[in-house]
Structure 1
């Protein structure tokens, strides 16, 4: 009794009007998530939405797709699709496979098509069956009645559509519960753990037994000096010693192992290491600025109480410019090259750069991709027409009726071919019968 009550309650979700209403709510939430920037700081919303920032924060509009109410709406829509699939689509598919023999014309409520040469005293069930089989129909016979169909796969398409949407929404829910996103800015040669968490699901966890190292970072430049691509060499270690994976990554070419993915997102120039004299080392921070519209990095070092020299870097593959306090270029030097200023020796030992990485674990993304694959597959399957043909014997002829759910012109063409093949077989078999009869006589 309780199962019947629960099933009747769930079947209300399969109502078309309810499903459309829930789908419109999901669309509205997606529009909100597209209009309002997601996952920004509180000050960002306070500055850009001074009249509505409190409403945005309280309702969770700054992270629409990770709110409890969006997950609840998605679950309701998933239930609606599943109930509709099991209560309507699958029984309809099962019913489409049943043999439907008829023996009178009043049974038909569909569009009817007729054959020209079937009204004949010499009609043959064998010929009509063979003609239908040649047109790729599945044929069943019982008591002078034929039933045939083709294109049953077209009836599966609605089931596939429901399953694909369900998979996409379930993948989104899995991403909400199990995924996490970490962003790090790591200097070359440094070992790091995952700690700068941007987003984490309720049931996500960080792999604490893994450490990561940035082996190298470099940039490829175009001939005009613009950046073509930048690369990072990464290594992943287990318990500090076992190398799990190593790869040079770039934009759109991440490092993937197990469920963890490393994306190359950004980079920056941090500092320059300088050897002054024989044994004195100094590390100076580089400040990003622009000169004549070109990005560059600038640092300075004091020679005495009144004088300074400046180091200017335009790109990592070019020379460093050494300038005085008036901006006059004194020298162009390379990394590792020794040069002298005021009888003091200098060597640029290294330019320290950092790479920007985004580390992401999202087990739901494979479910989402699988859902879209099923949806694409169902699109192709839906082009298959489901056609049915009924033929039964009357007093002096065969009665024919056919129907199709789409592509009526192609179905009419099949009927024309059926008529021609049936006529061809009928005429030739009659001729052969007469010939054999004459020979016997």
Structure 2
């Protein structure tokens, strides 16, 4: 049994500060009462829309398959409201049995004791270990040598393409796949061919007012240089300025009004592709259902490797154990069983577009027949996450800060080098600040 949490006033205030420091709002929720068998397990998640419907079906499948427990889901609004309520529930020791977090957010929570680590031996007894996950996805669950999150999926940034338009443009190979390009110039040539066959633009890419969209493409291109940013706590950002400037400049080259619109927001870009006017769309796998519902002739693939190293920006919906004041050993055992059952039954999550993290699912014959999902499944082996820091991750301010620094480069041709300098300066300011969730953190000069 997990020992009770001795919650000091400072720890509680630190958890509250974590919410504020990560752009979270305060909230509170009660835990689940213990009941007779089957036990009711409280599960919090932030999935709505089509993903919410799919998650409900997965939970129903797990409930129907056994009689030991029943899952009671609580769905909270994505981003700020969700992470606030979860942080405060964990700080108060009244958290749900299990919850979904983005893998990129766990590093900011673990130092403050807001999450319990997973027992890897217990997971292994249930058939869940490092051999059943792509290495980069499994590794992302670790913080300071302990595993704090178990990924359900990877949801990468990919390229969808209209197969009719691309066939007319002559850029498909004999298997109907997009002809491989391996340099920035080759890809530009390919896009110009696609544009000649499209009623609208060759490429749909929305970015206006959307730091996440700008960051997803930028960091994909940046990491294709075979590098990653490092954000050492209390230090300064380690960034290859030349690669950063080259990546940002290439993004601006795409937005020339012919290849892609000079100004487009996310919704406009999705609509352009969904109505068959453009040949390609840079987006996340979460838009798969949108295109299927549009009855569009399309396929999908990783964004082409233009700088030598395959890379796909992604995050992962992951299972975490929010800290409870007194975790019941039996309920915790059932929680482990629930997570194992969800991973093994995640084919339905693949149907919704996400790449299941559990390899026995993606390596199955059934998954190989799932198109276009099987055509971008390799992205799971090449995922790159936000640089590790307490202030990065989905729903944080980090990506918004990037967008604020670079949007005018894309919009009006500002100097890319100056924009990267602005971004670096802002990141270094964050690095001087302590993790608000860490009760041992102190200000740094």
Asked if these proteins are the same fold (TM beyond 0.5), I'd say no
> Larger relative CO (CA 8 A, sep 6+): 1 or 2?
2
Larger helix proportion of the pair: 2
TM-score by length of 2: 0.19
Larger strand proportion of the pair: 1
Greater Rg, structure 1 or structure 2? 1
TM-score by length of 1: 0.19
